[in-house]
Amino acid sequence: HNSYEKKIGGILCTVYEGDINEYWLNSIKHGSSCQPFYPTWVISAYIAVLIAKNFDYVELIDVGSGDGRIAYCAKILDFQSTSIEIDDVLIELQNTIVSTTNINFNPICVDAIEFDYSTLNVSRPVFFIGGLPQMGGDVLAKNIIEKISATDLKKNTSIVFAGTHAKRQLSNNQSAGGWSSLIDKYGLQVMKTVSLPTVWTFDQLVDTPYLYTEFI
């Protein structure tokens, strides 16, 4: 793909162009897939993970991880990192990244709804949910939260949600980035909200809110 140089904020940068169409098409072929593949910008991913680290979490599980950028950033920030993704083509891409960079963020090709998270042997984990609430992320989050709630990990676990302020996209409560109903239902409280740029907020005046929550 093409690359070119451009000044951004007065800094000369090299911009690389890529095509995600193949990965997007593959990601929607699975019956239990909760959202098509949209890559998180790596700088946004790094900042989101760094905030989780500041809360002293030890392990990071990226659920619906796409090409693994959040899990990759977690590994370079010294988390015990796990990347859960249902699509085999995206997992193949993740494995290529692992072998090329020698950064092993533990990609696992599995349906996140069916996966047994107790096998990960974690003590203070943070889960990043890969999906907006109105695009199936709520189904994914519900299943994971119910699994966590059935274990002793509940008091030590954080759940991070990516939300949206786009009112036209939301079919129910529009507060907490569209996650308020689920947050209330499962007894979570928001510790911090940070807005970061993402590819799915190009047409919006505000960026994507990331909500860091814990169980009450």
CATH number at residue 209: 3.40.50.150
Does a structural domain hold residue 174?
yes
- Please list, in sequence order, all residues whose beta carbon lies within 8 angstroms of the beta carbon of residue 80, skipping any fewer than 6 positions away: 58, 59, 60, 122
pLDDT above 90 for 53: yes
Q: Which range of residues forms the domain containing residue 59?
A: 34-215
Does a structural domain hold residue 5?
no
pLDDT above 70 for 49: yes
In 3D, which of 115, 106, 46, 52 has the Cα closest to residue 82?
Answer: 106
> What is the average pLDDT across 170-180?
72
Q: What is the pLDDT of residue 140?
A: 86
In 3D, which of 48, 54, 55 has the Cα closest to residue 72?
Answer: 48
- Determine the Cα–Cα distance for residues 82 and 61; give it in Å rounded to an integer: 5
- Determine the Cα–Cα distance for residues 23 and 39; give it in Å rounded to an integer: 10
Does a structural domain hold residue 25?
no
> What is the average pLDDT across 204-210?
79
CA angle 182, 200, 140 (to 5 degrees): 30
Q: What is the pLDDT of residue 31?
A: 55
Between 38 and 54, residue with greater pLDDT: 54
Q: What is the pLDDT of residues 142-154, one digit of tens each?
A: 999 999 888 888 8
Q: What is the pLDDT of residues 30-40, one digit of tens each?
A: 555 555 666 77
Using CA atoms, how far residue 157 sits from 1, 140, 153, 210, in Å, is 40, 16, 6, 16
> What is the average pLDDT across 106-130?
92
Does a structural domain hold residue 100?
yes
Listed range (22-26, 126-130, 152-156) with the worst mean pLDDT = 22-26
Does a structural domain hold residue 64?
yes
End-to-end CA distance of the chain: give it in Å, rounded.
48
Average pLDDT, the chain: 85
Helix (H/G/I), strand (E/B), else coil: 149: helix
Residue 175 confidence class, pLDDT cut points 50, 70, 90: confident
Backbone angles phi, psi at 207, to 5 degrees: -85, -175
Does a structural domain hold residue 66?
yes
Count the domains in the chain: 1
Listed range (71-85, 117-131, 172-186) with the worst mean pLDDT = 172-186
> What is the average pLDDT across 109-138?
87
> What is the average pLDDT across 133-142?
80
Using CA atoms, how far residue 25 sits from 21, 103, 134, in Å, is 6, 27, 20
pLDDT above 90 for 213: yes
Residue 166 confidence class, pLDDT cut points 50, 70, 90: low
In 3D, which of 131, 135, 191, 189 has the Cα closest to residue 161?
Answer: 131
Does a structural domain hold residue 27?
no
Does a structural domain hold residue 23?
no
